[in-house]
Chains A and B, each alone.
Chain A
Amino acid sequence: MSQEIEAETARYLRARARFGPLEIAFWLVAFSTIWLLPTRHLILTETVIWGLFALSLDLILGYAGIISLGHAAFFGVGAYAAGLLAKHEIINEPSLALLASALVAAALGFATSFLVLRGSDLTRLMVTLGVSLVCLELANRYGGVTGGADGLQGVTIAPVFGLYRFDMFGHTAYVYCLVVLFILFMLARRIVNSPFGLSLKAIKGNPLRSAAVGIAVNWRLVAVCTLSAAYAGVAGGLLAQTQAFASLSMLSLERSADALLILIIGGTGYLYGGILGALIYRLLQDYLSDLTARYWQFWIGLLLVAIVVIGRDRIGNWISPVVRFASRSVRSPAPRRVAGPEQGG
């Protein structure tokens, strides 16, 4: 009997993880822009980085239900790590430096995750905000290391793998970022479709019941916070490497709020939300700043208010058929009792 359930669970998980046609098309389009839109690579690079940052937020918000207003802490720490490593020529090879910034950010994420475990949404909000502000103050305080308000200057990035030099048109940077995004996305996709990912969704649904069915709630949350911080660190590292610059604004509250906004525009809990949101956000930003230059933030604010007043679930209802098509309706193959962790709709 238990073997039967195990087999069905495995089948369910496999069905969940299957690639849909839309997903494959998405990545084909993404990679085709390398050749099709060579003049837009600078903007696309930025979009990819924003997408990765929002994806990292999606891991904790969309899957574990933790609201963070301080995610820029990990982004900024990753950026400074990559910038400093390159500036002082400690690790020259960019991809290795990226790994290092992921580790640094993950270490910070691990340390702060214990603070996030306690308390309500508001406490979490405050703690994450507080952590990012402390990081910002520290970066400002130790201006000798970080360059303070002027930012970290004089960074030169070595060629990737010693072969591909970063050019001024951003071609190398774009390919580099896109490949990193693709690898990390596939990894995240694998993780959220694993039993671990399901247990996170269960925790998001109801922490108490999850604990009752034997999920180690706290450790799962610590793990996903650490993972998410590492992702954010990579995103920050990518930005520092492609711009050869790191600044205090990478740690700021605005940056955290932007990430949240991007993720909300794209939708939470299906991974693609961050990337789609970054695209839409970038287009909106371009269009609005053409329209009103300094005041585009007003329209972004209005968009946020409108999204909430209309209701995210209503917008979600419009998107979800597309998503279901993309992931080919995962619910059908498994009987209900095995598909338990999600508790229906």
Chain B
Amino acid sequence: MASAPSPVLPRKRGRVRGHGDAIMLTIIFDGVAYGMLLFVLACGLSVTLGLMNFVNLAHGAFAMAGGYITVIMVNWLGVPFAGGLVLAFVLTAAIGAVLERTLYVHVYAKSHLDQVLFTIGLVFMSVAAVDYFMGSSQQFVQIPAALQGQFDVFGVGVGRYRVLIIAVCGLLTVALQFCLTGTRFGCRLRAAVDDQRVARGLGINVGSVFSITFAVGSGLAGLGGALGAEILGLDPTFPLKYMIYFLIVVTVGGTSSITGPFLASILLGLADVAGKYYFPSLGAFVIYTIMIVVLIWRPQGLFARGTAR
């Protein structure tokens, strides 16, 4: 492969270290890890949106909850890291289930404006509450030494922690896909997403399907938040900062399948990492512009089926 700098991608001087292709591979690797993380964070949102047409801007709050639960468990109570991740999933799912039954359930039938207001209110509350209990500074999860540092694969620097993220998120994706396509529950869920009224008519209890999905989606967000604390940073403004990313995944990926958001997440991760490396001065500008263009070009999402609602 040519080692000369690509004419399409003007590189910032002083940043190029070593072989150009190796850097490219590192970027791809980091981008995929980031994208998979985004997918785990956002897939719950895409299902709730597709199923109930419910705009949940507070999804990031669940991710933040997962992150802070891990911080408390691992740093303060000395739970092993893996145990912290599991607890992040379980406890966030429980919080999600409780909130869904007590609060969210009143808002499904209301207008989108009400849903936006309601969930923004929840975001404000979560931000202030976390600030109150945990302080406004950034938190770090203590990661076991075995997961820190990099190792070289054919000259490409590969972060151990990112390998873990790709492995965990990859497994989760496969498991989710299996649940959706291979189990009875997944069958009900897909039926409910496709046409809620007909699904109800066939005797599917859409409400309980939704409750379970909401809890699992929140739990996954919590797990994503716990895993991502290292990469995304964890402070009380997390739900506001990453809200737009989750929404991009959902709107670009569409809400009718799980593969759409998955591809969208990977694309977004790659675009964000590459954009920040090659055009550091532009910041997140690239992503927002791409999002607007996609929304105008295909309002139903890039990977949505033609008949999507």
> Which A residues lie at the B interface, using CB under 8 A?
61, 67, 69, 115, 118-123, 125-127, 129-131, 133-134, 137-138, 140-141, 253-254, 257, 260-261, 264, 294-298, 300-305, 307-309, 311-312
Contacts and interface: CB of A to CB of B under 8 A. Distances in A.
Given A301-B128, A304-B124, A308-B121, A137 B291 contact: no
Contacts of B121: 300-305, 307-308
A296 B128 CA distance: 8
Given A298-B129, A301-B122, A134 B299 contact: no
Contacts of B284: 133, 137
Interface size class of B (residues with CB under 8 A): 35 or more
Contacts of B289: 134
B113 interface: yes
Interface string B250-279: 010000000000000000000000000000
Contacts of B131: 294-295
B251 A307 contact: no
A307 B117 contact: yes
Contacts of A257: 120, 124
A297 B113 CA distance: 20
A305 B122 contact: yes
A264 B120 CA distance: 13
Contact of B124 (A61, A120, A127, A298): A298
B287 to A, nearest CB: 9
Contact of B125 (A125, A264, A305, A311): A305
Contacts of A130: 244, 288, 291-292, 295
Say what secondary structure dominates the interface of chain B. helix
A201 to B, nearest CB: 16
Contacts of A67: 112-113, 116
B296 to A, nearest CB: 6
Interface in B12-43: none
Contacts of B295: 115, 118-119, 123, 126-127, 130
27 contacts: A69-B116, A119-B299, A121-B55, A121-B113, A125-B247, A127-B292, A130-B288, A133-B288, A134-B292, A141-B282, A141-B285, A261-B120, A294-B128, A295-B131, A295-B132, A297-B124, A297-B127, A298-B124, A300-B121, A301-B121, A302-B125, A305-B122, A307-B117, A308-B118, A309-B103, A309-B107, A312-B114
A308 B129 contact: no
B283 A140 contact: yes
Contacts of B112: 67, 121-122, 125
B106 interface: yes
Best-surrounded residue of B110, B116, B131 (most CB of chain A within 10 A): B116
Contacts of A122: 49, 55, 112, 251
Given A121-B112, A298-B129, 13 more contacts: A67-B113, A125-B55, A125-B112, A130-B295, A134-B285, A134-B288, A137-B285, A253-B240, A295-B131, A298-B128, A302-B125, A304-B117, A308-B107
Contacts of B6: none
B123 interface: yes
Contacts of B128: 294-298, 301
A131 B285 CA distance: 10
B3 interface: no
Nearest to B289: A134
A294 B126 CA distance: 14
Contacts of B247: 125-126, 129
B307 interface: no
Contacts of A260: 116-117, 120
Contact of A308 (B117, B251, B283, B299): B117
Nearest to B123: A301
